[in-house]
Structures are given as structure tokens and as C-alpha cells.
Amino acid sequence: MVQIAKKQQRIVTVYQDRRYTGDFATVQQVVAEGALGHVVLFESHFDRFRPERKANAWREETLPGSGVWFDIGPHLFDQALLLFGVPDAIGADIRIERPDAVVDDAFDVTLYYPHARAVLRASMLAPAVGPTWIVHGMKGSFIKYGMDPQEAGLKEGRLPDEPDWDTEPPELYGQLITANETRTVPTLRSSFTRYYENVRDAMLGTAELAVTPEWSLDVMRGLELAAASSRARRVLPWSG
């Protein structure tokens, strides 16, 4: 598809909406500002509690692209690449936890960087009551609870042009913890619509495409390498 798009002078991209959430934008800002110093451990969680298989859900059937890793993994991996770049190696445990599941419904995937680790986690048997984001650095830590409200808002029939579309309640704001203080970090505003706006602007020639084909191929490589790591039960290098 990438080769054909180049030949035909067309745009090909991937819908990475989860890079346009307020919680991730806040994590990006905290890391970029350097308040945490060198990050040594990053964890992102996407947990739900659904003990039974969802009826008529193709993602829970033995079909191409099914399973929670290929469902949630692309978003969490994309976010890690935005924060830290391509890892040196990947170690993964992609597994089935529920007795009636026929495809993977949980994963713990570790991305190896020099003097740092990024851990991506998801489960269908973990109520989302723990932290969604955990970032530890040489100068402090950032901890945040709660899921971005946009998906829930869409399901309720709300639209992105409504006031307070993606505003989080203060009790879900993250905490920045250092040796000298603990302070609340209000969640930044963001919107899934920014993805579409970027595609529009790229088509008009007024902006660079945010999710490039080359970037998406790196995400795909990471997904496949993690799956191979889980099957082999060992850490696999990115190159080699």
C-alpha cells in the first residue's frame, strides 16, 4: 500500500486517534518539560473488566487482526514511539486469561531503551481503578488515573464541537511528585478531530502528515516483533 501510494501520489495513513487524547497530551508535556528528568520507567494501562466474551465481536474471534494486542497495542505502541522513539528490543507476554477466550485478551509488553523501559499493559480482567499512566524519572514521578472521555462521549451521542467535549473532572488530574512538592497537573485539551484536520491540511498541502506511512510501518514492525517475542518467550532485538 505504501509503494502504491507513492507511485500514485496519494496519501496513506493510519487512524492513530489515541495520540490526540488529553491524558496523553499531558504526559507528553510533562516528559518534554523535563520536570521528571531522565525517564527510567513508563507504564501505560488500558484495562477493562469483561469476564465474558463479547457477543458478535470480531475482535474476539479467530480472525485476522483480532485479539487485544492488535486492537489496543497499535495505540499504546504509537504513543511510546512518540515519547521515546524506536526501542532497542522488545519482550512480550501476549496471552489468554479468560477461560472462554479464543484469542489473546491480555498483554504485558516491554520496550527496551538504554537505561529505560516502557511497559504497555492491557487486560479484560482488570477494572480500570488503578493508574492509567505511571512515569518515573530521575527527578520525580507522574501518576494519572482515568480514561480519556472522548470515546464515552461519542457513545452517549455527544459531538466534538460541544463545549467541554473532552474536559476531565479535577479528581482525574495527574499528580507530579518530586522530592520537594506534589502538585496537580490539569489535563490538557485535545480532540480526535485533530487527526482529521491534519489529514485535511496534508491533502491541501498546508501541513506535513502527522501519521506517515513510514511511521506506521515501524508500528507494524513493533506489533509483529512483540507477537514473535511472546511466541518465542524471549526478548527480541529491533534490528537483526
Architecture of the domain whose range is 2-237: 2-Layer Sandwich (3.30)
Domain residue extents for the chain: 2-237
**Local structure of residue 230 (DSSP, 8 states):** H
- pLDDT for position 240: 65
**What stretches in the chain show pLDDT beneath 50?**
none
Cβ density class 83-109: b for 16+ within 10 Å, e for less: bbeebebbbbebeeebeebebbbbbbb
Rounded to two decimals, what is the model's pTM?
Answer: 0.94
Q: What is the pLDDT of residues 7-35, one digit of tens each?
A: 999 999 999 999 999 999 999 999 999 99
